Amino acid sequence: MRHLTTYFLLLALLAGCGKKEAEESSEAPATESKTAPAEEAATPDRVTLTTAEQQVGGVRLGTLTQRPMSGGLKVNGVLDVPPENLVSVSAPLGGFVDRTDLLQGSRVSKGQLLAVIRNPDFVQLQQDYLETRSQLKLAKAEYERQAELYRQEVAPQKNYQRAQAEYEGLQVKSNAQAARLRLAGLPIGGRIVSTASVRAPKAGFVKAVNVSIGQSVTPTDVLFEIVNPEHLHVELTVFERDIPQVKEGQLVRFSLGNDSLSRERTAHVYLISKAISPERTVRIHAHQDREDEQLLPGTFVRAVIETNRVTVPTLPEKAVVQYGSQAYVFVAADSAAQAGTAIYRMVPVTRGVSEDGYTEVHLPAAEQGKPLRFVIAGAYALLGKLKNAEEEE
């Protein structure tokens, strides 16, 4: 009986301990659920910096400024040359390439020797010309003799007319042969040669070299291409739906695709094509405001055609940070967490046109009209600290 009583007492003690532990464990999560979420949701868009951290991050404050900004079309294009500045060089009578020392990219001046072409037919051309010149001398003498006899009424008129026709015919033949020799680059008169010189019709740079020594070429083969980049223009591609916004004389701001610094250049629209391509686009041509001989034809460009200009609220580009698909700015809070610190709020904004280092910014309706102070330098340092703090939590 005594053992049985002791057994029931032990069971009662164990049950009481288990109930107490269960109550304590049920109370602990309830307490944590009241404090933890409250702490996490307290400041999800705020970051606190000490004075030292602000100095290291280069944080500076400023306000929204009203600036005239251009609204425009963002388009792509290339640098191109007008047709008169791109020359294809060929050998008018064909032959074999005897000599050339040109390389792609070489600079040439007008009249410079580009290649020497060898052709056995050149000998025959010069021979025919020299023979015609000899016949012309004889025909001229006969013509003058018959003219004198006709004046003295010694010879009939038909002899004089026959001699005149023969002399004038040989003159025409001689002039035609001389023109053909000049076209081929051969000397007119003098010694007979079997080679002709191909010379540059314009100054510029060699864009392409399509021949090698010993190669046989025909009159239709393009031996060299010469481009003069002094008057490069900007050729832009605009979609059909945007053409009504484009007018002659509009400002074009563009940057080169191969320019790592994205330096901005300007041009003005001077020609709008009247034809629509199968891709439903139209070509727009713009003259550069400042020529640059270092630019190369065919360079890809990104451009904005200014279609209007309005005054809008702006901030420096460094003030607007991108996180995900949303743009944000940081605003100084009115109160500080403690002495020597500053609190900044992250505010979502809508970004507009960017120009000359400034970006158009539109604030949410709840923030408009307030005397806000924006972080215009060091915004990405604030974004980095805020997101790192969220990850640690």
Q: Specify the range with the lowest mean pLDDT, choosing from 215-224, 268-277, 334-343.
A: 334-343
Residue 203 within any structural domain of the chain = no
Does residue 125 sit in the same domain as residue 62?
no
Q: Cβ-count burial of 275 within 10 angstroms (0-12 exposed, 13-18 middle, 19+ buried)? A: exposed
Q: In this predicted model, what pLDDT tens digit does every residue of 65-93 receive, in sequence order? A: 888 877 678 899 999 888 888 899 999 89
SS (H, E, C) 61-82: EECCEEEEEEEEEEEEEEEECC
pTM: predicted TM-score of the whole model, two decimal places: 0.54
pLDDT-derived band at 357, boundaries 50, 70, 90: confident
The candidate with the shortest Cα–Cα distance to 86, out of 233, 183, 235, 204, is: 204
Residue 20, pLDDT above cutoff 50 = no
59 contacts 49 by C-beta, under 8 angstroms: yes
Angle between helices 121-151 and 157-184 (to 10 degrees): 160
Other CB atoms within 10 Å distance of the CB of residue 290: 7
Residue 295, pLDDT above cutoff 90 = no
Q: What Cα–Cα distance (Å) separates residue 362 from each residue in 346, 350, 377, 380?
A: 14, 5, 19, 19
Q: Specify the range with the lowest mean pLDDT, choosing from 16-20, 156-160, 321-325, 357-361.
A: 16-20
| Structural Rg of the chain based on CA atoms | 44
Q: CA angle at residue 119 from 115 to 122, to 5 degrees?
A: 105
User: What is the per-residue DSSP string for 15-54?
Assistant: HHHHHHHHHHHHHHHHHHHHHHHHHHTT-TTEEEEEHHHH
Share of the chain above pLDDT 90, in %: 34
What does the pLDDT read at residue 133?
A: 92
pLDDT-derived band at 15, boundaries 50, 70, 90: very low
The candidate with the shortest Cα–Cα distance to 237, out of 267, 204, 281, is: 281
174 contacts 132 by C-beta, under 8 angstroms: yes
Does residue 388 sit in the same domain as residue 317?
yes
Number of domains in the chain: 2
Residue 181 within any structural domain of the chain = yes
Domain final position from 168, 193, 218: 193
Q: In this structure, what CATH number is given to the domain that contains residue 347? A: 2.40.420.20
Residue 95 within any structural domain of the chain = no
Q: In this predicted model, what pLDDT tens digit does every residue of 113-168 receive, in sequence order? A: 999 999 999 999 999 999 999 999 999 999 999 888 888 888 888 888 999 999 99
Residue 10 within any structural domain of the chain = no
Residue 170 within any structural domain of the chain = yes
What does the pLDDT read at residue 393?
A: 58
Residue 298 within any structural domain of the chain = no
Domain final position from 137, 161, 193: 193
269 contacts 252 by C-beta, under 8 angstroms: yes
Residue 37, pLDDT above cutoff 60 = no
Q: What torsion do the CA atoms of 206, 210, 216, 220 make, to the nearest 10 degrees?
A: -80
Domain final position from 193, 227, 251: 193
297 contacts 80 by C-beta, under 8 angstroms: yes
Q: How far apart are CA 124 and CA 113, in angstroms?
A: 24
What does the pLDDT read at residue 76?
A: 93
**Domain residues for 185?**
121-193
What does the pLDDT read at residue 3?
A: 46
Q: In this predicted model, what pLDDT tens digit does every residue of 235-250 receive, in sequence order? A: 999 999 888 889 899 8
